[in-house]
Amino acid sequence: MVLLAMAYHADPRGDNVFPHQSTIATMARCSVRTVGRRLAAMEARGVIVRGDQRLVEHLGRGHRPVVWRLALERRRPSDNLSPP
């Protein structure tokens, strides 16, 4: 659900995803702590990567969410197999 909430905020290329964790938590119906754990896990697996942080420079330092990019180009190992 966290990934779906992020996809909702992404542009058509999967870029510029920067809702606050509280917004994601509301959409995913979970806690902000759970969102943080899920984001860390998805980043570790390469499902999401950090995007252009300059997009949120206009926000105050204590209010800047992380800008993410959905790794749409990522493929599973089984995707590289040619059909028999």
Contact 71, 46 (CB under 8 A): yes
27-45 pLDDT, tens digit per residue, is: 999 999 999 999 999 999 9
How far, in Å, CA of 65 to CA of 59, rounded? 9
How far, in Å, CA of 21 to CA of 42, rounded? 14
Q: Specify the amino acid at residue 77.
A: P
54-84 pLDDT, tens digit per residue, is: 888 888 888 888 999 999 876 665 555 555 4
User: How many angstroms separate the Cα of 58 from the Cα of each of 55, 61, 67, 71?
Assistant: 8, 9, 13, 25
Report field, pTM of the whole predicted structure over 0.85: no
